[in-house]
């Protein structure tokens, strides 16, 4: 039985799992999308979201915790055949990725299943991605649209009520005008006789 045993072993030792998790998350933060198997992606997703939550805090202690969990490796890029240092993973995490999700309470990553299978063992391949700002703006626009539709509904109700009130006041005024016209005509009729 595996009562209260969290996580997957992934046919690796604990040190190998830790190193694999760090590597995958570092590449996720560097490239913002990676392809891997579904089991590895599910394991890495929680770790990546914890690190992004630390990056949202932005404090020195949070930075030190992230360095302890992930390590601080350089981002290298090759230009003209030479390796050029572009920064560090922790630097990118705290300067770009953390501030991007300040107004988002969670769910910084997503797993997209692909129809591809790995040739060697027929493993399910997925994309693990950081959720972009367009997703949050879509949700905000949907929420804003709902608010607008509520406002429109309130406005239409108010307009209908005011229209009804105007109709009743206009009807009352018309009835009063008819009554005064009738009373005036009655007053004129006896004078004519």
The two structure tokens encoding residue 36: 């891997």
Q: Could you report the per-residue pLDDT of 79-115, keeping only the tens digit for each?
A: 999 999 999 999 999 999 999 999 999 999 999 999 9
Distance CA 12, CA 73 (A): 23
Contact 17, 10 (CB under 8 A): yes
The predicted model scores a pTM of 0.69
Q: Which pLDDT band holds residue 161 (cuts at 50, 70, 90)? A: confident
CA separation (Å) from 2 to 7, 44, 150, 154?
11, 21, 50, 56
pLDDT(191) > 60:
no
Q: Which helix (H) or strand (E) holds 46?
A: helix 38-57
- The greatest distance separating any two alpha carbons of the chain, rounded to the nearest whole angstrom, comes to 119
For residue 144, the model assigns a pLDDT of 67
Q: Which residue has the higher pLDDT, 87 or 138?
A: 87
Q: Could you report the per-residue pLDDT of 18-48, keeping only the tens digit for each?
A: 999 999 999 999 999 999 999 999 999 999 9
**CA-angle at 72, arms to 69 and 77, nearest 5°:** 135
Distance CA 20, CA 152 (A): 53
């Amino acid at each position: 039985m595996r009562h209260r045993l969290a996580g997957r072993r992934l046919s690796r030792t604990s040190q190998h799992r830790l190193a694999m998790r760090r590597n995958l998350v570092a590449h996720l933060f560097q490239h913002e999308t990676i392809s891997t198997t579904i089991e590895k992606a599910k394991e890495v997703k929680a770790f990546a979201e914890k690190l992004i939550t630390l990056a949202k805090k932005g404090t020195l202690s949070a930075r030190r915790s992230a360095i302890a969990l992930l390590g601080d490796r350089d981002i290298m890029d090759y230009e003209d055949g030479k390796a050029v240092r572009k920064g560090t993973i922790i630097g990118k995490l705290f300067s770009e990725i953390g501030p991007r999700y300040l107004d988002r309470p969670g769910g910084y990553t997503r797993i997209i299943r692909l129809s591809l299978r790995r040739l060697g063992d027929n493993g399910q391949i997925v994309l693990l991605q950081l959720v972009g700002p367009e997703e949050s703006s879509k949700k905000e626009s949907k929420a804003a649209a709902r608010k607008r539709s509520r406002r429109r509904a309130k406005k239409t109700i108010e307009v209908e009520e005011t229209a009804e009130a105007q109709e009743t006041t206009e009807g009352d005024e018309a009835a009063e005008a008819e009554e005064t016209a009738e009373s005036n005509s009655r007053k004129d009729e006896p004078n004519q006789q």
